[in-house]
Homo-oligomer: A and B are copies of this chain.
Amino acid sequence: MAHLLGGIEAGGTKFVCAVGDEKGQVTQRVKFPTTTPEETMKQVFEFFDQYQVEAIGIGSFGPIDIDPQSATYGYITDTPKLAWKNYNFLGAMKNRYQIPFEWTTDVNVAAYGEHKLGAGVGKNNILYVTVGTGIGVGYISHGQLYRGRSHPEGGHILLHREDGDNFAGVCPYHGDCLEGIAAGPAIEKRTGKKGYELAPTDACWQTEAYYLAQACMTYTLTFSPDMIIFGGGVMKQQQLFPMIRTKFLELMNDYVRVADLDHYIVPVRLGDDAGITGSLLAAADVLEK
């Protein structure tokens, strides 16, 4: 029987809210910019007040607190978006709607969407990386949203710098962490142009591919996923994929082999819908429990 479900993909730049079903089919959706909690949540409520959804899956930008034992469970914690720092997002939702919620990261729901309906169908351990305004990492482990003490924040790992690359990086916390040297704003700072203004043959893509390949190496040697799926604005540069694969092979140098590289490092299949689709599917799961 079809359930009416809700999904929220709460990104640092924009919110997407949707209603749909347990197959991840969206029937209604709205999109609006992420401003302040007051303004933005008003729009969230206006949307969901129109429907009798049975559960909502929330994938939020972070870092967020996902530990049910914690006093700040459901909060956005240390975000550089100051208006949202220490905001009790899940609490506000639960206050308004007395239904079950899934509460996880925006990248985790995207990973889940890809696992269930996208590039990762049939694989149980799916690492999803978005390379956009920031770099976020979501992980599905044995078919479940991964959580440890908290959720992965794999966009901020430090890397071996490429010979001759002295770019200082733009991460406000770490300078030249992965996000600081390889997300969209880093490309812009490095080249003076937006990523989509650069030719596919621009030398900066070699550097970009080197760092993303190295990130793939780190994720492979830690999580050991079945597949690494890349999404986000920067990854619309399709020429990056073969470059990343080649550099990944060189870096790994045959230590831990990956069977079929062309199906190991792949682009997102659901495109910009991965996150909202995953939110609906996650809502369906909490309803079942």
Contact = CB atoms under 8 A, between A and B. Distances in A.
A217 B173 contact: no
A222 B219 contact: yes
A152 B218 contact: no
Interface string A147-183: 1111111111111110000000000011010000000
A217 B253 contact: no
5 contacts: A148-B226, A153-B256, A154-B221, A160-B161, A218-B222
Contact of A158 (B78, B159, B222, B226): B159
A156 B222 contact: no
Contact of A256 (B78, B141, B160, B222): B78
Interface in A217-250: 217-226
Contact of A254 (B78, B141, B151, B154): B78
Contacts of A154: 221-222
Contacts of A141: 141, 148
Contacts of A224: 147-153
A209 to B, nearest CB: 15
Given A153-B221, A153-B256, 14 more contacts: A78-B257, A125-B148, A137-B222, A149-B225, A149-B226, A152-B221, A152-B222, A152-B224, A153-B220, A156-B256, A157-B217, A158-B214, A218-B218, A222-B222
A215 to B, nearest CB: 10
Integer count of this chain's copies in the complex: 2
Interface residues of A, number: 41
A115 to B, nearest CB: 13
A271 interface: no
Nearest to A62: B256
Contacts of A251: 158, 174
Nearest to A175: B253
A63 interface: yes
A158 B255 contact: no
A193 B7 CA distance: 59
Contacts of A78: 254-257
A147 B241 CA distance: 26
A28 B210 CA distance: 51
Contacts of A253: 173-174
A256 B219 contact: no
B255 A222 contact: no
Given A125-B149, A148-B125, A149-B226, A158 B156 contact: no
